[in-house]
Structure 1
Amino acid sequence: MKTRKVIVLDVARADFRKIKRHVKRDFGDLVWDEVNAEFKESIRKIGLNAEGGKNFTELEGVGGENFRMRLVRQTKVVYEFDDEKVLVHMFIHSNMDFRSHLFQRLFDI
């Protein structure tokens, strides 16, 4: 099995910083350290087996065959992959509506 390079896009990094601020503020540094380790492990596993993520049904029919997601606690890690690399597009809370979040992101740019 080939390991792919994982690239976290800038917009996803902004999502991640928001998660970090929230967790540290509401739960403290020790919990953040645990959560951060879980994200790192999930990203590592995505690089090893991108196909292993859950199909992202919200993108079916619009060219989203290579999009997947993995859940880390209550956060979906949304990514796209090809033979060489993985692009992490967003970190989104599982309670948020994906389509609304996507349209907001598209129109905020």
Structure 2
Amino acid sequence: MKTSIAAAFFMFCSTFSFAQVFVSGVNINEMDSVKVCQVTVSSFRNLASPNTVTLDYGQPNKKALNRITNKATGEKIRFNSLGHVLNFMENNGWVHYDSQSLIAGNESDNFLYFRKK
């Protein structure tokens, strides 16, 4: 019972909070030319609290241009975990179809590939 209530709460919060995927003010859900994107999750220690989440849809490779941002404030969205990133993209019409992980020393990078529905 508690699990279903918690799951319903998180689903409501995530669908209510996020309606579109904005990358530095650009709504990539409305771009017909974007069919595939790559989300990179960089973390120090573990994936429970990622340090950096970036999204590449083919835009110029500038760090300021690849952050997932909030439509209302323009500030980058802080994700709580890798699951939060996956749920965010799935709730916005993107299908996760592949993942890769690279670990170098104490740092790990995860590359998540999504295809637009």
- Please give the TM-score of this superposition, normalised by the length of structure 1: 0.31
More helix by share: 1
Report the TM-score, using the length of structure 2 for normalisation: 0.30
- From the two aligned structures, give the one with the greater strand fraction: 2
